[in-house]
Amino acid sequence: MLRVTLRGVRAHAVRFLLSILAVALGVAFVAGTFSLRTMMSSTFDGIVEASAPADAYVRGATEVAGGDDVGETRNPVPIGLADEVSALDGVRLALPDVSGSVVLVGADGTAVQSTQAPSFGIAYDERDPSLTLISGDMPTGDDQVALEEATLESSGLAIGDETRLVIGGDVRDVTIVGEVNAGGPMAGATIVLLDPAAAQAVFAPEGTVDSISVYGDEGVEEQALADTISAALPTLEGGDVASAVTGTELRGDLQSDIHEMLGFVTTFLLIFAVIALFVGGYIIANTFAMSVRQRVREFALLRAIGASPAQVFGVVVGQAAVVGLVGAALGVLGGLGLVSLLRVVLAGVGMDLASDIPLGTSTVVGCLVLGTLVSAIASAFPARTAALVAPVEAMRGEISVRERSLRLRAVLGGAVVAAGAAGVVAAALRPDAKIAESMLGLGAALVLIGVLVAAPTLARAAIRLMAAPFVALLKPIGKLAQGNVVRNPRRTANTAGALMIGMALVGAVSVIAATAQASLASVVESSTNADLILRSATFVIPKGAVDEVRDLPEVGKVVEIAFTNAGVSPEPGVAPTPQDYGGVLSLEQGVLGSTLLVETSAGDTDDLADDTALLNSDFIGDGWSVGDTVSIVTATGSRDLRVAGIFESQLLGSSVVVTPRVLDELAPGEAQMIDTVTLDAAPGVSQTDLRSAVTAAVAPFVVVSVQDRDQFVDQIAAQVDQLLVILYALLGLSLVIAVLGIVNTLALSVIERTREIGLLRAVGLGRLQLAGTITVESVLTALFGTLVGLVVGVGLASVLPSIYADEGLDKLVVPWGGLLTMVILAVVVGVLAALWPAIRAARMRALDAIASE
């Protein structure tokens, strides 16, 4: 039967072509995702190797909560400990790791930034073996810097050029004196090298650093070096707060954290790959269902000459497996193409990934197996139909497959929809329940599955309604198209099902995005009455910019919102662990309730003092009362504060509010960041004059933007739009596959109706009329899938505000304009999908079509 299987694929290659393409697209996404993850892992592993090359490291002995994504946050160690460690046996060199954030102004007068990569300055010690001076000189003094080679290229600057550097909150005029190799690609990070004394004055004013890099003498093993340091630390000045670890162990921890982060990215992308493959499975099932209908005599002859039902079943599934295998092989190649294109795009924005595109044997084999299995499983029901064909069918002149009643599907689909809707409603009524989110997800999945099951029943009534304008305006092709689509509701529903899935997701995402934007706008508008808001492209406003603005005569009230990540008690009176971290921000007494408007649920926000704290119930959780004790632990200290008030605010995205003096104690210098500043005009100063003065004052700091409340809202909305574009692009793959399904179905339908088309042409139907009929069929199918999908997606997404109102998603907005655009797009998709089948049908010769079998 293997020969029969392969001959069947070869004989009907055109019918299976689009199914192969559908599988290829889905598998390309899977292969590309795994290749991208491996390449990114290799790139970041290289960065870790280059940025942490030492044999051993001295770091804080106590791990504290900091909320960093990569690496542990520990207490700092004295910078002078480096000299004492250098004197130990086996130690060749010990260098304090002095670094901090900076903003470099490029040749075009703007900040040098690459994607979301960090921008930081580090102390350049000529003894550091990880840094190599390529050209020029090492920096000396406050007014000289060297640049990492990729940073120098992206900045447009050259050795000898003068520019500005925002460092430690001040703007400093500097000269580029050297170009340095940092040991490997830095994935777009902006790296500025400073004189060690200048760097220490800004980044280590308290005389402490996060770690000390230690290089051993030749022949000394890493573990032996770390053991030597560990044994000596208790006797060294400042060594009681430090510990030693091998370089291999530190690099392994960092790489493990990065791989965990990349695992999330992989999972996120694979979700869309699964959606694409699921949609592709729909196409394969529909293709083989139509193929079985058209090849009934072939299967009957196989049965007549002795083939068993199991053998016929195996032939159809085997043909689907071949289709899947070929599609998967093309998909693997397509995945390599996608990753290659993505690497070029990322390189264009300054993020260089590893030069080789990895494609391991496991990835290739996994993708081939996945494509084959998806195709084989999708063909199972059509294969069963083929296996049940009776041998006597081969002797009949007219052969057809008997269709079963749709009543069972209608009842079953309705029951599944009802069960899913009950789960969604239950989640909406009990949003505080622990299983509310699970019930919502399961209910939504059941609703979508139920609609897909009941779709053939919906198709007849819905398409008759949608076809009414075509029937009235386009005679006779409107009536013909309506009849062709309604005649086989199963085929119509299966063809539209792929588009239905994609549009349901698009509709849900559109509603979620519009609702999020409206909710965020409402939060901002109701949370502050400030005249202007300062924000930064680097998410940190330099302290010097705030000082410049504060000194302006046009400015009245200035509110700094500075924050740090810290360990925060999970419950009243419970000390935080390293995993119990949250945001801690500082405000002066009286700001809450005046410039920043919040809803107070307990206590009084005016009671904020140096020995009290205010808790944000939107982020710290339940169970807190006024008078409880909250513990805050950072790398440099800890405080136990009495809870003086509890409030609710989504805008202030931190758990605890303390006074500036407390935050200075907990997070001095670089450990705290100013992320937002609100400004009010001085009495008698207009909004225009205030804005002009503030804009001029912050201009030298490059990254600071001046916004009013409307612009602030627009900026937040733009961030949602950026995420929306990514989601639409990922969902676009499933929509492309769905369009292929419509093309495939129409093409197979033309083959199936060859004699009917010949008869229509013989009785006077013109070529354009025939092409128009095919086009209207395509448009009706696309409209049905789009409208049903959007109704399901919008309906399910509309429940979210009742469940996530406490998280700020409380303003339901349905983007009717965007949904109308989707419907119009469905019409365009229907027209485009019909081009090839319509042209093929129109080119048929009437007599040849009538004489066809």
**Cα 500 to Cα 513: distance, rounded to the nearest angstrom:** 20
- For 481-530, the pLDDT digits (tens) are 898 888 888 888 888 887 888 889 889 988 988 888 888 788 777 788 88
- Judge if 629 and 699 occupy the same domain: yes
- Judge if 591 and 571 occupy the same domain: yes
- Judge if 156 and 231 occupy the same domain: yes
- What is the percent of the chain where pLDDT is above 90? 32
**Cα 50 to Cα 196: distance, rounded to the nearest angstrom:** 20
Residue 419 CA neighbour count, 13 Å, CB half:
12
Mean pLDDT computed over every residue of the chain = 85
How many other C-beta atoms are found inside a 10 Å radius of the C-beta of residue 769? 17
- Judge if 124 and 218 occupy the same domain: yes
pLDDT at residue 533, as a whole number: 92
Is residue 419 one of the residues assigned to a domain?
Answer: no
Query: Hey, what amino acid is at 5?
Result: T
* Structure token pair of residue 508: 């849900």
pLDDT at residue 690, as a whole number: 94
Query: Hey, what amino acid is at 54?
Result: A
* 65-69, 371-375, 501-505, range with the lowest pLDDT: 65-69
**Cα 786 to Cα 780: distance, rounded to the nearest angstrom:** 10
Decide which of 9 and 622 is more confident.
622
User: How many helices (DSSP H) and strands (DSSP E) are in the chain?
Assistant: 25, 25
**Cα 574 to Cα 569: distance, rounded to the nearest angstrom:** 5
What residue ranges in 718-822 does DSSP mark as E strands? none
For the chain, the domain total comes to: 3
Taking 70 as the threshold, does the pLDDT of residue 240 lie above it?
Answer: yes
**Whether the bond into 476 is cis, omega within 30 of 0:** yes
- Judge if 679 and 740 occupy the same domain: no
Taking 90 as the threshold, does the pLDDT of residue 41 lie above it?
Answer: no
Please compute the mean of the pLDDT values over residues 155-182 and round it to a whole number. 92
Question: Position of tokens 């998410």?
Answer: 539
Query: Hey, what amino acid is at 209?
Result: V
- For 309-337, the pLDDT digits (tens) are 888 888 888 888 888 899 889 888 888 88
Burial of 270 (0-12, 13-18, 19+ CB in 10 A): middle
Among 170-179, 341-350, 718-727, 768-777, which range has the highest average pLDDT? 170-179
**Cα 573 to Cα 624: distance, rounded to the nearest angstrom:** 10
Confidence of residue 9 (pLDDT cuts 50, 70, 90): low
- For 118-127, the pLDDT digits (tens) are 788 999 998 9
Angle at 845 between CA 844 and CA 849, to 5 degrees: 80
Confidence of residue 851 (pLDDT cuts 50, 70, 90): low
Which of the listed residues 200, 225, 246 is the one where a domain comes to its end? Answer: 246
- Judge if 181 and 139 occupy the same domain: yes
Decide which of 712 and 244 is more confident.
244
Q: Are strands 637-648 and 612-616 parallel, antiparallel or unpaired?
A: parallel
Is residue 700 one of the residues assigned to a domain?
Answer: yes
- Judge if 700 and 732 occupy the same domain: no
pLDDT at residue 71, as a whole number: 66
**Cα 327 to Cα 277: distance, rounded to the nearest angstrom:** 11
* 79-88, 565-574, 756-765, range with the lowest pLDDT: 756-765
Contact 559, 675 (CB under 8 A): no
71 closest CA partner among 203, 255, 241, 223: 255
Please compute the mean of the pLDDT values over residues 75-84 and round it to a whole number. 92
Is residue 394 one of the residues assigned to a domain?
Answer: no
Taking 70 as the threshold, does the pLDDT of residue 400 lie above it?
Answer: no
Angle at 96 between CA 92 and CA 102, to 5 degrees: 140
pLDDT at residue 398, as a whole number: 47
Please compute the mean of the pLDDT values over residues 429-438 and round it to a whole number. 83
pLDDT at residue 657, as a whole number: 95
pTM of the model: 0.75
Full DSSP string of 170-214: EEEEEEEEEEEE-SS--TT-EEEEE-HHHHHHHH-TTSEESEEEE
Question: What does residue 57 show for φ and ψ, rounded to 5 degrees?
Answer: -135, 140
Decide which of 306 and 504 is more confident.
504
**Cα 451 to Cα 463: distance, rounded to the nearest angstrom:** 15
Contact 328, 132 (CB under 8 A): no
- For 353-365, the pLDDT digits (tens) are 655 666 678 888 8
What distance lies between CA 746 and its chain's CA centroid?
A: 35
- Judge if 613 and 650 occupy the same domain: yes
Which of the listed residues 650, 683, 707 is the one where a domain comes to its end? Answer: 707
* Structure token pair of residue 227: 């053991």
3-state secondary structure 642-667: EEEEEEECCCCCCCEEECHHHHHHHC
- Judge if 519 and 554 occupy the same domain: no
Taking 80 as the threshold, does the pLDDT of residue 636 lie above it?
Answer: yes
Is residue 17 one of the residues assigned to a domain?
Answer: no
pLDDT at residue 656, as a whole number: 95
CA separation, residue 819 to residues 103, 136, 801, 814 (Å): 42, 59, 19, 8
- For 673-723, the pLDDT digits (tens) are 898 999 999 999 999 999 999 999 999 998 899 998 888 888 777 777 777
Is residue 130 one of the residues assigned to a domain?
Answer: yes
Residues 6+ apart with CB under 8 A from 834: 742, 743, 746, 771, 774, 775, 777, 778, 779
- Judge if 641 and 727 occupy the same domain: no
Is residue 437 one of the residues assigned to a domain?
Answer: no
**Cα 222 to Cα 214: distance, rounded to the nearest angstrom:** 10
Is residue 372 one of the residues assigned to a domain?
Answer: no
Which of the listed residues 246, 262, 288 is the one where a domain comes to its end? Answer: 246
- Full residue range of the structural domain in which residue 98 is found: 52-246
- Residue 359 gets which letter from DSSP? -
Taking 90 as the threshold, does the pLDDT of residue 175 lie above it?
Answer: yes
Is residue 81 one of the residues assigned to a domain?
Answer: yes
Confidence of residue 223 (pLDDT cuts 50, 70, 90): very high
- Judge if 702 and 794 occupy the same domain: no
- For 606-632, the pLDDT digits (tens) are 999 999 999 998 888 788 999 999 999
Following CA atoms 249, 250, 256, 262 in sequence, which dihedral angle do they give, to the nearest 10 degrees?
-150
pLDDT at residue 397, as a whole number: 45
- Judge if 89 and 236 occupy the same domain: yes
Helix, strand, or coil (residue 631): strand
Classify 370 in phi/psi space as left (phi over 0), alpha (psi -120 to 50) or beta.
alpha
